[in-house]
Structure 1
């Protein structure tokens, strides 16, 4: 090859050299381009892997993207009529670990408390609100970084405690050193007199200021605000009028005494008054259907069912869970449902479905010792029955004065829909059914 190459002329040799160099440069360029193409494909694969974790690229180690991703915890849907609430509290702090489905926050609404649970297990990286802040449905409440609990998050807490204990003795050791110079200045004992002068100036007011006159301002919770709005709306809308009657509870107390132990053994439910009064109201409403009706615009809505709202007092305010179709339930079934709803109300576990609707309300103020009272109508209902405490009073029976357990009943009704004759007839029917409960089996 060399001999042939040498025999060529100088111009031909230059041409061959240039062609050889150009072919080599093309190969190098192709190699570089291929490497760039491969690297580009690899990077595209990495990006696709981040977007789609199910995809895999053989022979390439991809970064663990979930480690830096956070899961957003949103304010959940509450109800059609509820779009916002007040953040009551967070159960965890930033940096703490939380299990999946563990309670993270409680949101207080106009009607119920909504619990927000963690969607995943992980570490809380961010809390976007503070207690008493207003939160809206769909807002980001917090962020959680998925993962397992790290031992390092709990270790510092345990290590900090002994450090605090070690620092305290040092402070106690320094304390006596500071007390020493105080003892060396007996002449400064007159200083307390100077300190008393401002106190005397503060109390240099009329004698009643010697007692505490502090004031505390507490923001009304949403439930209390809603109750206030509804009660005032009721007074402004309904033409409220109250009629009274009294009922002899002798027959009911005797019935309760005979059967309460047997009922507790069979059903585990304590036999009270609410089941009997609820059943009596459903029977009386059949004779006076307007009691169970409601005004909607220019129309009157009559119902063939009775959903009784039972007023239950809770630490946050009065709630009225509903016993559905009370007219179709027995006395014990109504009693069991009232006990179940009352327990949920006191535990703060009521749902919107438990309180939606209601056609008639019974409020038992007698459990608190009330003797008289005029309940307020639970709009858009037409009437509310108020029960009061049972007291032994002298009454006339068959011309003789005897002592009987008596209870005052109060029926507040909307005079726009219910006339006085109908209201009095309804309350009188309830009185007669309670004084002789056997009549309830005849209707």
Structure 2
């Protein structure tokens, strides 16, 4: 018998057996792919060292495959594989039919990862593996061809420029794609009247400003979100396959735009223990350091909920605001603007001009349902609209 060996050289830190492409007893030709190995970088097919029959599998799928390890054994057979010794004049055997390309287990992990990161349609790529399977090399070639399209367009007279992705943009892209692939996301929209917090801010901001503290509307949003967690604690949670982990600490991340450089999410920890002044102080420190490029990885760890105040850049409504996985929800706040609203005064409807903004809660529907989502937003809006003007900062 002849050993099937793991290649002595491989790309990647370690390899595991992804799948066996043949079963024990199958007759194979020389160089037929027998087993697929997966590293953190590539997927590799190990071919048969001889023509013969697969008689033994020593390493099952999921097992480690170290360089030089024996994966299985092939014994030579007296007759060639079926179809190779057909009599003259016989019709040639029908080629194997490719399996459906949309089967979840059809592609190897490395191929699935490359497809997810590139966004390419697997049906548009010609597979060179066994039975038309896609290999990582097939996907890499397709990615390279896609990258060359701007050059071809330029040659055809279409002008433009190619801007390589920086590491932050690539990380954002991967995280956003992972979020929408893993979690079914639903968005609810409410409207909030900022009159009460505008009045409170107007009264207390001068005193805090004299101390070097900027009292922004975002600080109120953070405090109101923490109060809404008391009404619906499940919003401050993380989904696990066997349980829901509801956090006691409310650690709120604030989406902070860095212009063309991307976005970071520094985290204000234990908001439930802070005053408005405390939130404003920490928020000012984190956002200032983030925009100066001085934020650290530690400043962005441990978040349990995120606020995206996209209205500061002008948008009235964004839906969905993609969840910052593995969190269960994200709050979106639109542009604050004066709008005409109807308010009842003394039993009579009146038309008033109020500072209003749309607020959204995008939820992981595995964790939360509509009534919980609306309950949280109701509590959040109520906290903003009932803020006492004489409450301490």
Do Structure 1 and Structure 2 share a fold, with TM-score over 0.5?
A: yes
Question: Quick check: 1:387 aligned with 2:340?
Answer: no
> Contact 1:433–1:440 (CA<8 Å) still a contact in 2?
no
> Contact 2:196–2:388 (CA<8 Å) still a contact in 1?
no
The equivalent of 2:370 in structure 1 is: 420
1:430 to 355, 359, 380: 380
SS of the residue aligned with 2:311? Answer: helix
Where do residues 146-295 of structure 1 align in structure 2 (5 Å cutoff)?
A: 213-265=158-210, 267-295=211-239
Deviation, 1:244, is 0.6
SS of the residue aligned with 1:438? Answer: coil
Question: Quick check: 1:409 aligned with 2:353?
Answer: no
Q: Unmatched 5+ residue regions in structure 2?
A: 1-39, 41-153
1:298 to 236, 242, 261: 242
The equivalent of 2:315 in structure 1 is: 370
The one-character-per-residue Cα deviations of 1:71-96 (angstroms, maximum 9, x if unpaired) are: xxxxxxxxxxxx9xxxxxxxxxxxxx
SS of the residue aligned with 1:437? Answer: coil
The one-character-per-residue Cα deviations of 1:159-200 (angstroms, maximum 9, x if unpaired) are: xxxxxxxxxxxxxxxxxxxxxxxxxxxxxxxxxxxxxxxxxx
Deviation, 1:297, is 2.7
In 1, Cα distance between equivalents of 2:380 and 2:391:
14
SS of the residue aligned with 1:433? Answer: helix
Deviation, 1:411, is 0.6
Decide which structure has greater helix share. 1
Where do residues 75-154 of structure 1 align in structure 2 (5 Å cutoff)?
A: none
TM-score, normalised on structure 2?
0.57
In 2, Cα distance between equivalents of 1:249 and 1:287:
21
In 1, Cα distance between equivalents of 2:387 and 2:196:
7
What RMSD, in angstroms, separates the aligned Cα atoms of the two structures?
2.1
The equivalent of 1:48 in structure 2 is: none
> Contact 1:280–1:440 (CA<8 Å) still a contact in 2?
no
Q: Unmatched 5+ residue regions in structure 1?
A: 1-82, 84-208
The equivalent of 1:182 in structure 2 is: none
> Contact 1:433–1:439 (CA<8 Å) still a contact in 2?
no
Q: How many residues align?
A: 232
In 2, Cα distance between equivalents of 1:440 and 1:261:
14
Inter-CA distance 439–251: structure 2 relative to 1 (3 Å threshold): closer
Moved over 3 A (4+): 439-442
TM-score, normalised on structure 1?
0.50
> Contact 2:190–2:377 (CA<8 Å) still a contact in 1?
yes
The one-character-per-residue Cα deviations of 1:347-372 (angstroms, maximum 9, x if unpaired) are: 11111101112000001111111111
Deviation, 1:391, is 1.3
Question: Quick check: 1:327 aligned with 2:272?
Answer: yes
SS of the residue aligned with 2:388? Answer: helix
In 2, Cα distance between equivalents of 1:247 and 1:225:
35
Deviation, 1:296, is 2.1
| Structure with max Cα Rg | 1
